[in-house]
Amino acid sequence: MITRVVTLLLLLYLPCSAYSDTVNYCNDPNVNQQWSQLMLKYGDIPEWRDINQYRIELCNEVKKGSISLEDAIDQFEDKRAEKIEQLRHRLEKTTTSEYSLSG
């Protein structure tokens, strides 16, 4: 489980796109397949499900023209950082609980 969480944290830290070279990955079949594979692997982690759903929602908003790609990227990065902190907090609580139970 710890290996999965560490891997997830690393994946969440990877930037989605470079701001100097803004690319819309929403319609990229390779990127979408990677997200699908990650969902199969990490879909049981609530923070991962949340960020995946948020990505889908933002892609839909960009597609409809309701939000600019740059704003969507900014919002995604903010939400991703929030979810990383939530995951860290949850892991700290879990680890603390495990140590207190075993000690």
Of how many residues is the chain composed?
Answer: 103
Q: Are 83 and 47 in contact (CB under 8 A)?
A: yes
Between 11 and 33, whose confidence is greater? 33
Whole-angstrom CA distances from 103 to 91, 97, 99 are: 18, 10, 6
CA atoms within 13 A on the CB side of 101: 6
Confidence (pLDDT) at 68: 94
pLDDT at 93 over 90: no
**pLDDT tens across 12-31, in order?**
544 444 344 688 899 899 99
| DSSP, res 67 | S
Record the pTM: 0.72
State the pLDDT at residue 23.
85
pLDDT in the model for residue 2: 53
